[in-house]
A and B are shown apart, each in its own frame.
Chain A
């Protein structure tokens, strides 16, 4: 029995301790936002936060997160109250198929937590572990830089745009 915190809620799982966190979250706790892409930590579609750090959960045994705080894309923001990155993602129409985007957003959010004003090169370095087969990279980069810039400059027009309504 392994206990951890999932999006702030204490949970426990009876799945085998070697089960990757991704499958515990998807099959066990039915949160489907985090995706399976490679099963080898190579594509980043499964990215979650472990105590605030971006981790590839398709290769992270659930035993490694005992007592830790796990945040998934569902815990980052919701359509009604999106994280600024999610709002900017929608505003710039970043996603195409969208399958990798949970992982992209989670990696980006962890980056901005640690480095609120990254350079374009720092964005590329932090996001290089996340593959997008549709090729949304230019927009991913722009969205992160927009949000970072907005958070550093409240008078930036982008900051005002963050309040815009997205209809779903």
Chain B
């Protein structure tokens, strides 16, 4: 580095400052008081470059296993021209800059991350690379168009290499270029290419840190006793035995029930078992699974429900049909059961200017953490700093954050830094659930195998009101108005107003096929168990009903499963292309003796998936041997992440298809741990082959779309193997 260059830098800085042209970086997380020369370059909210050429990517979405750190880092790496593994990925706190463009809030969900950020993040990175090149040209006094970049270095025509970090002080004084042309796909080095996940080694060596791993000085752990029946309230408690146990420091009442605080988790858990609690039970306490099913059946028979959508003339389509079928399908309540149980750490920092708080939690919605802690403590949201942590799984569960409220309330009541850890029993019995659903499909076929009428009715509770019931209050401003509030309030208002036809409840019942005469009816029956989004949301059960019915119709029409589906998907060419591939596979397959194949296809989260399952049913024992998965998710950023998400969604969906159910007894969830809420294990797991369709369409979701087809594909294969049409989940042979 020459003296001349240093002088040149100083000159630019001085002149820019004098002219008032200093570009102020977003500087999230950078102390404003830091000396200008020590400051990194932070030209936007996402990218920071420091003098040592450390390049930090503030990932706007949170990592729950779906590979979003890797995926979004790939986008930044591509346009910034830095190897993805060289980026340091950090999780930002709450800021409007990190709002999910597809959701209007700082939320990770809905399989939106790559879809929503594909262009904006690339643009942000391309602009920063252009800024570095502008600065380098000025600094090196070389023509801008003679400079290039490679792996985080500026490269001159003569082959000299300078780390980006050499130019950040010059760059700070320049305007950030806008609308820099993005790389054409032919020049991609990382997008669409194969390379290992950037977080693979940290997650294989125990060095990746999750929320539960936070361990602050003087932190105490809390275990909370909650009413066995959701919605019950604390009547009284006697903690005299618990308080005397080793390590126990406090036993306090919180909104959820009674919190036992100790130095160590084990002490708190042991002591919690010694607390005597009396609860005021809600009406739900009179409900068990048999009663619930009777109520759903009665509603399906007796209630007309609400027409959620309709097209054409259903009755004409049904009466003109040459054959009609009507079937009912059942899907039970399910828990998400991520491997990392819910947990949160809250620390209150008392100060002369009022309390401030910090919260560490694995979360799909950091702004909800912030709002909940602010409300629990009675302070401004701006005085709450959220540190979103890696999530040990979420699947929709980590959008409902009552555990964060618990931690805040206990911290306030005890004046201690508190970590709340839920046990697995807490997770299964006090959670928020995938709703149970009773579905009925009436369908009419014309003589040519086209579906002339289709009426789908779904009975069950709605997810949106419960989810927003926790989220909503967290979003209400208490001191500082925030533009996001308007969106959230509007969304909440709309959802509440329309809650009898909450789209999440019925999504997937009619969208995939050409149904000229159709209706979706919703009958709300809700006994009060709290509900929320669970991987693939409504599609997780609607696809089972819809794709089982498609196979029933195929048999009725005397067509193969693929033929019937192709006949009725002419207006959905992307799904039809997958059905054709699955059909060809079924046509050409020669399964082993005792094995049979079944298929299903379903579009969700703007992506399309078809699956072929190979099963056997020897001695009534269902075995899924292989699943072939065809996926069209548009342009692919990380092929291996797409494969991994399809593999994972299939396993997750198989747990539901083969094992998953929660039973209610006296209003309480019976299942408490993995012995009675079994998760698919490696010895039950099938071989999975994923076929990704080559596409130039815009990228779409992969976290959820792999799940909906698996249960009906297995059910359809079991029908082929055994002649038993199973219409109830989990699948059990007679």
> Given A86-B204, A99-B340, are A23 and B196 also a contact pair (CB < 8 Å)?
no
Complex contacts, A49 vs chain B, CB 8 Å: none
| Bound: A91/B210 CA distance, A | 22
Residue A10 lies at the interface, judged by CB distance under 8 Å to chain B: no
Residue A132 lies at the interface, judged by CB distance under 8 Å to chain B: yes
Say yes or no: B67 contacts A96, CB within 8 Å: yes
Say yes or no: B205 contacts A93, CB within 8 Å: no
Residue A113 lies at the interface, judged by CB distance under 8 Å to chain B: no
| Bound: A95/B269 CA distance, A | 30
Residue A43 lies at the interface, judged by CB distance under 8 Å to chain B: yes
With most chain A CB atoms within 10 A of its CB, the pick from B421, B423, B674 is: B674
For the complex formed, measure the closest distance between the CB of A20 and the CB atoms of chain B, giving whole angstroms: 6
Q: Mark B205-230, 1 if CB is under 8 A from A, else 0.
A: 11111101101000001000000000
For the complex formed, measure the closest distance between the CB of B397 and the CB atoms of chain A, giving whole angstroms: 11
Residue B358 lies at the interface, judged by CB distance under 8 Å to chain A: no
Complex contacts, B641 vs chain A, CB 8 Å: 93
With most chain A CB atoms within 10 A of its CB, the pick from B65, B204, B394 is: B204
For the complex formed, measure the closest distance between the CB of A62 and the CB atoms of chain B, giving whole angstroms: 10
Residue B25 lies at the interface, judged by CB distance under 8 Å to chain A: no
Complex contacts, B674 vs chain A, CB 8 Å: 38, 40, 42-43, 131
| Bound: A59/B348 CA distance, A | 33
Residue B732 lies at the interface, judged by CB distance under 8 Å to chain A: no
| Bound: A40/B644 CA distance, A | 29
Complex contacts, B266 vs chain A, CB 8 Å: 15-16, 19-20, 23, 27
Say yes or no: B393 contacts A97, CB within 8 Å: yes
Say yes or no: B201 contacts A168, CB within 8 Å: yes
Residue A68 lies at the interface, judged by CB distance under 8 Å to chain B: no
Say yes or no: B424 contacts A40, CB within 8 Å: yes
Q: Which of A43, A135, A168 contacts B685 (CB 8 A)?
A: A135
Say yes or no: A128 contacts B681, CB within 8 Å: yes
| Bound: A95/B206 CA distance, A | 11
Q: Which of A73, A92, A131 contacts B206 (CB 8 A)?
A: A73
> Given A90-B196, A96-B66, A98-B65, are A39 and B423 also a contact pair (CB < 8 Å)?
yes
| Bound: A34/B392 CA distance, A | 13
| Bound: A27/B216 CA distance, A | 11
Q: Mark A117-137, 1 if CB is under 8 A from B, else 0.
A: 000000111011011111111
Residue A77 lies at the interface, judged by CB distance under 8 Å to chain B: yes
Say yes or no: B200 contacts A32, CB within 8 Å: no
Residue A138 lies at the interface, judged by CB distance under 8 Å to chain B: yes
Complex contacts, B213 vs chain A, CB 8 Å: 32
| Bound: A33/B366 CA distance, A | 24
From B124-132, B303-311, B516-524, B645-653, give the one contacting chain A.
B645-653
Complex contacts, A3 vs chain B, CB 8 Å: none
Complex contacts, B424 vs chain A, CB 8 Å: 37-40, 43
Q: Mark A1-44, 1 if CB is under 8 A from B, else 0.
A: 00000000000000110011001000110111111111110110
| Bound: A89/B197 CA distance, A | 10
Residue A94 lies at the interface, judged by CB distance under 8 Å to chain B: yes
| Bound: A99/B339 CA distance, A | 7
Say yes or no: A95 contacts B682, CB within 8 Å: no
Complex contacts, A100 vs chain B, CB 8 Å: 339, 392
Complex contacts, A19 vs chain B, CB 8 Å: 264, 266
Residue B121 lies at the interface, judged by CB distance under 8 Å to chain A: no
- For window 149-204 of B, CB contacts with A under 8 Å fall at 196-197, 199-204
CB nearest to A45 among chain B residues:
B339
For the complex formed, measure the closest distance between the CB of B668 and the CB atoms of chain A, giving whole angstroms: 19
Say yes or no: B201 contacts A128, CB within 8 Å: no
Say yes or no: B204 contacts A89, CB within 8 Å: yes
Residue B577 lies at the interface, judged by CB distance under 8 Å to chain A: no
Complex contacts, A133 vs chain B, CB 8 Å: 337-339, 393, 395, 652, 679
Residue A101 lies at the interface, judged by CB distance under 8 Å to chain B: yes
> Given A27-B265, A131-B674, A133-B393, are A34 and B201 also a contact pair (CB < 8 Å)?
no
| Bound: A125/B682 CA distance, A | 8
| Bound: A32/B345 CA distance, A | 15
Q: Which of A36, A85, A137, A167 contacts B86 (CB 8 A)?
A: A167
- For window 57-88 of A, CB contacts with B under 8 Å fall at 72-74, 76-79, 82, 85-87
Say yes or no: A135 contacts B392, CB within 8 Å: no
Residue A140 lies at the interface, judged by CB distance under 8 Å to chain B: yes
CB nearest to A124 among chain B residues:
B683
Complex contacts, B640 vs chain A, CB 8 Å: 93
> Given A32-B213, A96-B66, A136-B647, are A79 and B205 also a contact pair (CB < 8 Å)?
yes
> Given A35-B340, A40-B424, A168-B85, are A105 and B393 also a contact pair (CB < 8 Å)?
no
Residue B390 lies at the interface, judged by CB distance under 8 Å to chain A: yes
| Bound: A42/B428 CA distance, A | 14
| Bound: A155/B676 CA distance, A | 46
Q: Tell me if B's interface is mostly helix, strand, loop or mixed.
A: loop
Say yes or no: A82 contacts B201, CB within 8 Å: yes
Complex contacts, A128 vs chain B, CB 8 Å: 681-683
| Bound: A13/B393 CA distance, A | 32
Q: Which of B205, B339, B395, B421 contacts A86 (CB 8 A)?
A: B205
Complex contacts, A34 vs chain B, CB 8 Å: 206
| Bound: A74/B202 CA distance, A | 11
- For window 134-167 of A, CB contacts with B under 8 Å fall at 134-141, 166-167
Say yes or no: A167 contacts B392, CB within 8 Å: no
Q: Which of B66, B197, B394, B681 contacts A93 (CB 8 A)?
A: B197
Complex contacts, A85 vs chain B, CB 8 Å: 204
Q: Which of B85, B215, B652 contacts A167 (CB 8 A)?
A: B85
> Given A98-B199, A99-B392, are A37 and B339 also a contact pair (CB < 8 Å)?
yes
| Bound: A33/B65 CA distance, A | 17
> Given A124-B683, A167-B86, are A95 and B200 also a contact pair (CB < 8 Å)?
yes
Complex contacts, A93 vs chain B, CB 8 Å: 196-197, 200, 640-641, 644
| Bound: A97/B364 CA distance, A | 13
Say yes or no: A37 contacts B196, CB within 8 Å: no
Say yes or no: A15 contacts B264, CB within 8 Å: yes
Say yes or no: B651 contacts A135, CB within 8 Å: yes
| Bound: A73/B246 CA distance, A | 29
Q: Which of A72, A97, A166 contacts B196 (CB 8 A)?
A: A166
Residue B688 lies at the interface, judged by CB distance under 8 Å to chain A: yes
For the complex formed, measure the closest distance between the CB of B398 and the CB atoms of chain A, giving whole angstroms: 11
For the complex formed, measure the closest distance between the CB of A54 and the CB atoms of chain B, giving whole angstroms: 14
Q: Which of A38, A166, A167 contacts B673 (CB 8 A)?
A: A38
Complex contacts, B680 vs chain A, CB 8 Å: 135, 137
| Bound: A135/B86 CA distance, A | 28
Complex contacts, A168 vs chain B, CB 8 Å: 85, 201-202
Say yes or no: A35 contacts B392, CB within 8 Å: yes
Say yes or no: B647 contacts A72, CB within 8 Å: no
| Bound: A138/B629 CA distance, A | 14
For the complex formed, measure the closest distance between the CB of B501 and the CB atoms of chain A, giving whole angstroms: 32
| Bound: A74/B83 CA distance, A | 27
| Bound: A138/B689 CA distance, A | 10
Say yes or no: A90 contacts B212, CB within 8 Å: no
Complex contacts, B644 vs chain A, CB 8 Å: 93, 96, 136, 139
CB nearest to A144 among chain B residues:
B682
For the complex formed, measure the closest distance between the CB of B640 and the CB atoms of chain A, giving whole angstroms: 6
Complex contacts, B650 vs chain A, CB 8 Å: 135
Q: Mark B379-398, 1 if CB is under 8 A from A, else 0.
A: 00000000000111111000
Say yes or no: A98 contacts B390, CB within 8 Å: yes
| Bound: A37/B683 CA distance, A | 20
Closest 6 CB pairs of A and B: A33-B206, A135-B651, A98-B203, A99-B392, A97-B65, A73-B206
Q: Can you add 16 more A-B contacts, CB < 8 Å, to A72-B206, A133-B339, A134-B648? A: A27-B266, A37-B340, A38-B674, A39-B424, A39-B673, A73-B205, A79-B207, A87-B201, A90-B201, A96-B648, A97-B63, A135-B650, A137-B680, A138-B688, A141-B682, A166-B85
- Residue pairs across A and B with Cβ atoms less than 8 A apart, 27 shown, are A28-B264, A32-B213, A33-B207, A35-B392, A36-B421, A38-B673, A38-B674, A39-B673, A43-B674, A78-B205, A90-B200, A96-B67, A98-B202, A98-B204, A99-B65, A99-B393, A128-B681, A131-B681, A133-B652, A134-B648, A134-B652, A135-B650, A135-B651, A137-B651, A137-B681, A137-B685, A139-B644
